[in-house]
């Protein structure tokens, strides 16, 4: 398979391993609504933030959407779309060294994006999918990187969408009016997508059973039509009889049709005399949990508004969701903030379509280039539509943007706001935690910082030992963290057994061993020291890892 090389690649291929684990520090004053809903906004360098989030979310994310800098060279944006930004320059100087002084714009971009993609892969579930927006500036390089990191066999394809409504002359006779979304699965053989056009928006009607759409109760005869598909049906409430259409047949046979009528799944014209309906129609209810996977078209239709198919029954027909354009995203953001707060934000409908195609109602979504917060907005809007409980994690590097745009936008759309015309817009509900990056777990000498809690170290120890996040419910006051693949993981730290003496609860002794929760199998015990002999450790099937020296620090 062809691979891509560039100046600085050797320095960044394994750079993610050197990034230290940091703590996440809650900022309650910037939180919103119900922080316990599971939504999270993090301010900080996204490489460091992703490393800090791994012990909590590795292998748990169903859908990643990122809209990284396109590297266009335009430095006039609020969100600098050029990798010469001060934060990236500082990072490159540390990660690549003097070699960074000779990097071209494309070298710098590749050095920036590579370790971030490597970490993002670790967040995906086995059936997870990553979508990456890009234009032609770096699309070719990005495709080769994704092939290298995720495997060419896991490439799902490339989506194309029209980003603006009118062409523009910008120094070339060819107006580039489209952008790309590259899609890769963690394991393409297990990745399911559900069709960009098929969502709750396609079920515009509602009754006590939920959202539903109106479908023709007849079908074309074709070659399979049989005489017993021609029969009259009766509205049980009015007694009106409807004869079969001589040119079409009912979609159900008599026995099934009677069941459908009994269950109240028919829309009768005489029950709705003001709807201009001539013939009965069939109700199909929205159920995201039973929706079957469908092919996803690589062409995403673009329009500022959803288009409605028109026929003789008007609003009973199905709406078709379009992706929207960059103009749509800008207008919506200006409506929320009453000013132009962010240049070229992605339209909510585009991101919503991608998330809907990749997730079910209780899945986790991650965006590590959060920008204006479109992904969080899309998740909340999708949840509002199908009563889902999807959660989002947003990471934004720039503090001003993170607080004043990303978090503020999500805050306004959760609780409601007044648009630029002064009209009240209903809130979507929900809430989020807001976090900053705290200090590293370990100081410069490799010792555990005194401020590190048992829960923080427990998550780190369990993740670095097993490669999996410690389930939230297991973070208790017990030194037994849990079992993973037949091995029991223990941590003696910070007086978890109420004994902080030098030779006490943090040191494995016979007395301490007797107090530990029992586990019948191989055990790994992290402790400050061990006074048990080799024979006793073998008999008890214990592997000791001394803290802090045998805890992985990065």
Alpha carbons 395 and 130: distance in angstroms, whole number? 16
Q: Is the domain of 184 the same as that of 226?
A: no
In a domain, 110, yes or no: yes
Q: How crowded is the C-beta side of 188, counted as CA atoms within 13 Å?
A: 11
Structure token pair of residue 336: 């929320």
C-alpha angle with apex 71: 68 to 73, nearest 5 degrees?
Answer: 140
In a domain, 16, yes or no: yes
In a domain, 311, yes or no: no
What is the domain range of residue 243? 204-285
Q: Is the domain of 189 the same as that of 327?
A: yes
Q: Is the domain of 189 the same as that of 213?
A: no
Residue with tokens 């590297």: 71
In a domain, 551, yes or no: no
Q: Is the domain of 130 the same as that of 234?
A: no
Alpha carbons 540 and 282: distance in angstroms, whole number? 67
Q: Is the domain of 91 the same as that of 18?
A: yes
In a domain, 291, yes or no: no
Total domains in the chain come to: 3
Q: Is the domain of 261 the same as that of 127?
A: no
Q: Which residues contact 150 (CB under 8 A, 6 or more apart)?
A: 121, 130, 184, 185, 186
Query: Among residues 285, 310, 335, which one ends one of the domains?
Result: 285
pLDDT of residue 251: 85
Q: Which residues of 270-300 are buried (b: 16+ CB within 10 A; e: fewer)?
A: eeeeeeebebbbbbeebebeeeeeeebeeeb
Q: Is the domain of 168 the same as that of 57?
A: yes
Q: Is the domain of 423 the same as that of 517?
A: no
pLDDT of residue 316: 32
Q: Is the domain of 67 the same as that of 149?
A: yes
Query: Among residues 420, 439, 458, which one ends one of the domains?
Result: 439
Radius of gyration, CA atoms only, the chain:
28
Query: Among residues 401, 418, 439, which one ends one of the domains?
Result: 439
In a domain, 4, yes or no: no
In a domain, 32, yes or no: yes
pLDDT of residue 293: 67
pLDDT of residue 318: 26
Q: Is the domain of 184 the same as that of 126?
A: yes
In a domain, 313, yes or no: no
Q: Is the domain of 94 the same as that of 170?
A: yes
Which CATH number fits the domain that encloses residue 41? 3.40.50.150
CB count in 10 Å sphere of residue 415: 15
Q: Is the domain of 390 the same as that of 522?
A: no
Return per-residue pLDDT of the chain as tens, 554 residues.
Answer: 678 888 888 888 888 888 888 988 889 999 998 777 789 999 999 999 999 999 999 999 999 999 998 887 665 544 445 556 566 667 677 766 665 565 677 888 888 899 999 999 999 999 999 999 998 888 999 999 999 999 999 999 999 887 766 666 566 667 777 889 999 999 999 998 876 545 566 677 888 888 888 888 887 765 555 666 788 999 999 999 998 887 788 888 898 999 999 999 999 988 877 667 788 999 988 776 666 666 677 777 654 333 222 222 223 332 223 344 445 655 666 667 655 555 567 888 889 989 988 998 899 999 999 988 999 999 999 998 888 899 999 999 999 999 999 999 999 999 988 887 788 888 999 999 999 998 888 888 888 888 888 888 998 999 989 988 888 777 777 899 999 999 999 999 887 776 655 556 789 999 999 999 999 999 999 998 999 999 999 999 999 999 888 888 77
């Amino acid at each position: 398979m062809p691979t891509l090389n560039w100046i600085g690649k050797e320095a960044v291929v394994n750079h993610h391993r050197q990034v230290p684990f940091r703590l996440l520090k809650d900022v309650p004053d910037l939180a919103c609504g119900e922080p316990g809903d599971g939504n999270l906004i993090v301010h900080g360098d996204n490489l460091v933030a992703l490393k800090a989030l791994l012990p909590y979310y590795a292998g748990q994310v169903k859908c990643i959407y990122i809209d990284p800098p396109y590297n266009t060279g335009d430095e006039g944006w609020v969100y600098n779309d050029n990798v010469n930004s001060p934060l990236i320059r500082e990072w490159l100087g540390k990660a690549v060294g003097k070699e960074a002084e000779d990097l071209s714009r494309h070298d710098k971009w590749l050095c920036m994006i590579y370790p971030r993609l490597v970490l993002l892969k670790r967040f995906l579930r086995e059936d997870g999918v990553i979508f990456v927006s890009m234009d032609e500036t770096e699309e070719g390089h990005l495709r080769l990187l994704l092939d290298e990191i995720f495997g060419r066999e896991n490439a799902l394809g490339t989506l194309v969408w029209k980003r603006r409504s009118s062409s523009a002359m910008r120094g070339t006779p060819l107006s580039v009016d489209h952008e790309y979304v590259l899609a890769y699965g963690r394991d393409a053989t297990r990745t399911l997508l559900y069709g960009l056009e098929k969502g709750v928006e396609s079920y515009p009607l509602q009754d006590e059973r939920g959202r539903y759409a109106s479908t023709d109760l007849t079908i074309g005869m074709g070659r399979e039509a049989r005489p017993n598909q021609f029969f009259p049906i009766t509205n049980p409430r009015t007694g009106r009889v409807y004869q079969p259409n001589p040119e079409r047949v009912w979609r159900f046979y008599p026995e099934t049709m009677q069941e459908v009528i009994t269950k109240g799944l028919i829309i009768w014209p005489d029950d709705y005399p003001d709807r201009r309906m001539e013939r009965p129609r069939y109700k199909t209810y929205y159920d995201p949990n039973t929706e079957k996977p469908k092919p996803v078209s690589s062409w995403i239709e673009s329009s500022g508004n959803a288009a409605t198919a028109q026929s003789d029954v008007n609003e009973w027909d199905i709406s078709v969701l379009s992706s929207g354009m960059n103009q749509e995203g800008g207008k919506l953001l200006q409506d929320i903030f009453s000013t132009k707060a962010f240049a070229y934000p992605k339209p909510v409908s585009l991101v919503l379509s991608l998330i809907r195609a990749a997730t079910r109602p209780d899945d986790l979504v991650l965006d590590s280039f959060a920008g204006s917060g479109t992904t969080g907005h899309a998740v909340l809007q999708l949840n509002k539509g199908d009563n889902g409980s999807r959660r989002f994690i947003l990471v934004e590097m720039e503090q001003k943007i993170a607080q004043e745009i990303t978090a503020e936008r999500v805050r306004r759309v959760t609780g409601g706001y007044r648009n630029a015309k002064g009209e009240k817009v209903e809130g979507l509900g929900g809430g989020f935690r807001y976090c900053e990056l705290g200090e590293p777990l370990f100081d410069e000498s490799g010792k555990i910082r005194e401020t590190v809690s048992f829960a923080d170290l427990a998550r780190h120890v369990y993740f670095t030992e097993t490669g999996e996040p410690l389930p939230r419910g297991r973070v208790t006051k017990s030194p037994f963290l849990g079992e993973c693949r037949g091995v029991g993981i223990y941590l003696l730290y910070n007086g978890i057994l109420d004994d902080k003496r030098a030779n006490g609860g943090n040191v494995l002794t016979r007395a301490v061993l007797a107090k530990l929760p029992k586990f019948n199998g191989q055990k790994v015990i992290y402790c400050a020291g061990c006074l048990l002999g080799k024979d006793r450790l073998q008999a008890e099937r214990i592997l000791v890892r001394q803290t802090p020296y045998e805890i992985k620090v990065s």
